[in-house]
């Protein structure tokens, strides 16, 4: 499959899908509190997406994934499956939302702190947020994917964190995952040249400890091999004539 360049009409549909995905994260924030189960969060998001937004939760049944959202707690890197686990004071939770509206995908994730955040968790979430934006700032026509990855890697490693290698961002549009792969490490001037009309996700996963990961027997949940904390933020980004446009900004302050 080739990289898709979105037309003006397709870009507008991507804006709608991105806005809806961000609205789900804005909505669910009030429910992220001690005692709530990750399964309850999934149910609330599913009902909001299907009933209020008249949209489709993209993860549900995608390659067999059993839920409508991903909930990744503490040392879970990505693709956590919602279930009976109840949130506890001090937990760090990533919620990953992807909606389909009128045939186009909007994909975003955000870190939530449950109750009183741990100092290490807040630091990791904050640096990961900064790293995501360092990568996004490199997105412009004529820039290369290596510029995006290098900006993320340089910031993360300067703070003593490691970058997960096995999982990355991706192109997005009519398909959930399209070319190109968007690595969160790399060399300046390397990789594919970005072109106006491309839509990609920038979604760095940074670890408190070592970068190695392990896939659990459920076939989806990815955890840090050393069981130290991991954090992720994600936005869907459009390459514009003069730079970029972030399509999944929420209504509130953008910070961690």
Over residues 53-72, the mean pLDDT reads 98
* pLDDT category of residue 172 using cuts at 50, 70 and 90: very high
Helix H or strand E encompassing 71: strand 70-73
Share of the chain above pLDDT 70, in %: 98
For the cut 70, the answer to whether the pLDDT of residue 13 exceeds it is yes
More confident residue, 255 or 56: 56
CB count in 10 Å sphere of residue 92: 23
* pLDDT category of residue 252 using cuts at 50, 70 and 90: confident
Cβ 109 vs Cβ 203: under 8 Å: yes
Share of the chain above pLDDT 90, in %: 96
Helix H or strand E encompassing 201: strand 199-202
What CATH number matches the domain at 8-246, 3.40.50.1820, 3.30.565.10, 3.90.230.10, 1.10.3720.10?
3.90.230.10
Distance, CA of 47 to CA of 53 (rounded, Å): 9
* pLDDT category of residue 251 using cuts at 50, 70 and 90: confident
Q: Considering the entire predicted model, what is its pTM?
A: 0.97
For the cut 70, the answer to whether the pLDDT of residue 254 exceeds it is no
pLDDT tens column, 102-153:
999 999 999 999 999 999 999 999 999 999 999 999 999 999 999 999 999 9
* pLDDT category of residue 17 using cuts at 50, 70 and 90: very high
pLDDT tens column, 212-248:
999 999 999 999 999 999 999 999 999 999 999 999 9
Domain ranges of the chain: 8-246
Cβ 40 vs Cβ 95: under 8 Å: no
Distance, CA of 92 to CA of 40 (rounded, Å): 17
Distance, CA of 256 to CA of 254 (rounded, Å): 7
Cβ 59 vs Cβ 75: under 8 Å: no
């Amino acid at each position: 499959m080739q990289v898709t360049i979105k037309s003006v009409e397709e870009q507008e549909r991507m804006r709608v899908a991105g806005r809806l995905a961000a609205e789900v994260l804005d909505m669910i924030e009030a429910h992220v509190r001690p005692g709530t189960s990750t399964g309850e969060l999934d149910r609330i998001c599913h009902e909001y997406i299907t009933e209020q937004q008249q949209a489709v939760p993209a993860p549900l049944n995608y390659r067999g994934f059993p839920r409508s959202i991903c909930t990744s707690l503490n040392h879970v890197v990505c693709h956590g499956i919602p279930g009976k686990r109840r949130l506890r004071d001090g937990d760090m939770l990533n919620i990953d939302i992807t909606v389909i509206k009128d045939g186009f995908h909007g994909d975003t994730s955000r870190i939530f702190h449950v109750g009183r955040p741990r100092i290490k968790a807040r630091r990791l979430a904050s640096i990961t947020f900064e790293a995501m934006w360092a990568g996004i700032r490199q997105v412009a026509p004529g820039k290369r994917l290596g510029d995006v990855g290098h900006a993320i890697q340089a910031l993360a490693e300067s703070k003593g964190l490691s970058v997960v290698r096995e999982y990355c961002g991706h192109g997005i549009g009519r398909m959930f995952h399209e070319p190109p792969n968007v690595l969160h490490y790399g060399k300046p001037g390397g990789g594919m040249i970005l072109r106006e009309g491309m839509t990609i996700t920038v979604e760095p996963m940074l670890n408190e400890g070592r970068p190695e990961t392990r896939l659990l027997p459920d076939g989806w949940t990815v955890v840090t091999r050393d069981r130290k904390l991991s954090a992720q933020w994600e936005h869907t980004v459009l390459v514009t004539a003069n730079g970029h446009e972030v399509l999944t900004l929420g209504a509130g302050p953008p910070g961690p």
